A and B are shown apart, each in its own frame.
Chain A
Amino acid sequence: DAKTTQPTSMDCAEGRAANLPCNHSTISGNEYVYWYRQIHSQGPQYIIHGLKNNETNEMASLIITEDRKSSTLILPHATLRDTAVYYCTQWGDSGGGADGLTFGKGTHLIIQP
């Protein structure tokens, strides 16, 4: 069972910021929050990850709450190509061995023209 909860679907207008929430209330101290996305019929694509500080890269920003029980992925200027299923997952480098990445159902983000 997935350890994270996300809304099933979201819409966002092209050019606007897309904010995708994720709850991970059972996250432990050594587990990171990871975000991946999967465009239809393709393999999952890494987006970003973080432990407790906010992170930014060329694709997105990740905002993690102070208690680490939730986070938000921000796509600052969404384009039609960002339409995909976005997965939030938690994973620790010490305990993740046999479990690997676990994806739940994710959020289907639809970018509207």
Chain B
Amino acid sequence: DAGITQSPRYKITETGRQVTLMCHQTWSHSYMFWYRQDLGHGLRLIYYSAAADITDKGEVPDGYVVSRSKTENFPLTLESATRSQTSVYFCASGGWETQYFGPGTRLLVL
């Protein structure tokens, strides 16, 4: 089915480990985004991509790495996970005006 999917949906990891969150969309949208959602902070943009091989930082990029070798995929990597990165991560795709969100990945860093 067409849409945007994220995997895994739930992840528990330990401090210092590398974690990669996957995002896949079937709409061929140009833009893709990664957000984190935390109580007290609302939704914050981590990174976004305007097209394959084009990425740019958002509001809170430190500690994260992204890549976009294919239009449909936009993985987010936590190079060395910290407890402050415990959060719900949402991927979104769309044109610049309208974004469609995935179901989210709930990450717990112990």
Interfacial residues, chain A to chain B (CB-CB below 8 A): 2, 32, 41-46, 49, 87, 93, 96-105
B99 close to A101 (CB less than 8 A): yes
User: With a CB–CB cut-off of 8 A, which chain B residues contact A93?
Assistant: 96-97
Tell me, rounded to whole Å, the shortest Cβ–Cβ distance linking A97 to chain B: 7
Interfacial residues, chain B to chain A (CB-CB below 8 A): 33, 35, 37, 42-45, 48, 56-59, 90, 92, 94, 96-104
User: With a CB–CB cut-off of 8 A, which chain B residues contact A32?
Assistant: 97
Across the interface, name the chain A residue whose C-beta is closest to B90: A43
**6 residue pairs A–B, Cβ–Cβ below 8 Å:** A2-B42, A43-B102, A98-B45, A98-B57, A98-B59, A100-B35
CB < 8 Å A-B pair total: 56
B42 close to A99 (CB less than 8 A): no
Q: A32-B97, A44-B90, A97-B56 are in contact. Are A102 and B43 (CB under 8 A)?
A: yes
Tell me, rounded to whole Å, the shortest Cβ–Cβ distance linking A41 to chain B: 8
- Pick the residue among A43, A46, A97, A104 that contacts B103 (CB under 8 A): A43
A99 close to B45 (CB less than 8 A): yes
User: With a CB–CB cut-off of 8 A, which chain B residues contact A45?
Assistant: 101
User: With a CB–CB cut-off of 8 A, which chain B residues contact A41?
Assistant: 104
Bound CA span A87–B99, Å = 14
A100 close to B48 (CB less than 8 A): yes
A101 close to B45 (CB less than 8 A): yes
- Pick the residue among A96, A97, A98, A103 that contacts B43 (CB under 8 A): A103
6 closest cross-chain pairs (CB), A and B = A100-B45, A43-B101, A103-B43, A103-B42, A44-B101, A43-B90
